[in-house]
Structure 1
Amino acid sequence: MKTPFKNVLPIAVVALAVSGAFVTTSMQSASKSTAPQVGYPRNAMGNCILNQPQNCNTTEADSYCYVGGGTSGTRAFGTADDCKEILWRQP
């Protein structure tokens, strides 16, 4: 005569394995977010205007990073040394 433990154990092991596979798959597909980066508008000579920092992101998005956070106007660039790095709007 089989005990209930012997009947339930294989089902529990299979359920644990299947749930582990789904958890592993969802962890691999999680988006990797990057830290925000400060961007600066440029003056007519191409130098950063350091007293007007903007919150931007280095991860490519739908829109560039603009002063004031809008979708048009003066763009903000990264790297205060040369003000050439393209930055993107924060999600």
Structure 2
Amino acid sequence: MKTLFFKNMLPAGVIALALAGAFATTSMQSASKKSSVSYRQGFNALANGKCGNIAVDCDDDPINPLCHISGTTGPLAYDNQSNNCVIPLYKPVN
């Protein structure tokens, strides 16, 4: 009796699992992406805390690594507040 039950129910279970996977995949593709990324312009710092003219897209979320002017190394990028570059910025989340 058990083997007959499993023989008849196994294909139905596999089909149900496949349908659930198809719908889950489709719903994940149409999910909206997080659009609340707040890009800020980060600038290189000159002497006396003044801002330079090299700008790069950064973020102000402190859980991310620090934002650099050239990739992952080099000078840090700072927030330009009244031409005062003392607040470091962070890498934007992609």
Normalised by the size of structure 2, how large is the TM-score?
0.53
The change in CA–CA distance for 1:86 and 1:32 in structure 2 (over 3 A counts) is farther
1:71, distance to aligned residue in structure 2 (A): 1.9
Residue 55 (structure 1) aligned with residue 45 (structure 2): no
- More strand by percentage: 2
Q: Secondary structure at the match of 1:45?
A: helix
Provide the aligned length of Structure 1 versus Structure 2: 60
Counterpart residue number, 1:13: none
Which of structure 1's runs of 4+ aligned residues deviate more than 2 A?
31-34
Match of 2:48 among 37, 45, 48: 45
The answer to whether the 8 Å contact 1:34/1:58 transfers is no
1:60, distance to aligned residue in structure 2 (A): 1.5
Counterpart residue number, 1:75: 76
Q: Secondary structure at the match of 1:52?
A: strand
Mapped to 1, the partners of 2:43 and 2:76 lie a distance apart of 8
Mapped to 2, the partners of 1:48 and 1:58 lie a distance apart of 17
Unaligned runs of 5+ in 2: 1-33
Unaligned runs of 5+ in 1: 1-30
Measured on the aligned residues, the alpha-carbon RMSD in Å equals 2.1
Structure 2: which amino acid aligns with 1:79? N
Mapped to 2, the partners of 1:42 and 1:79 lie a distance apart of 9
Mapped to 1, the partners of 2:69 and 2:41 lie a distance apart of 11
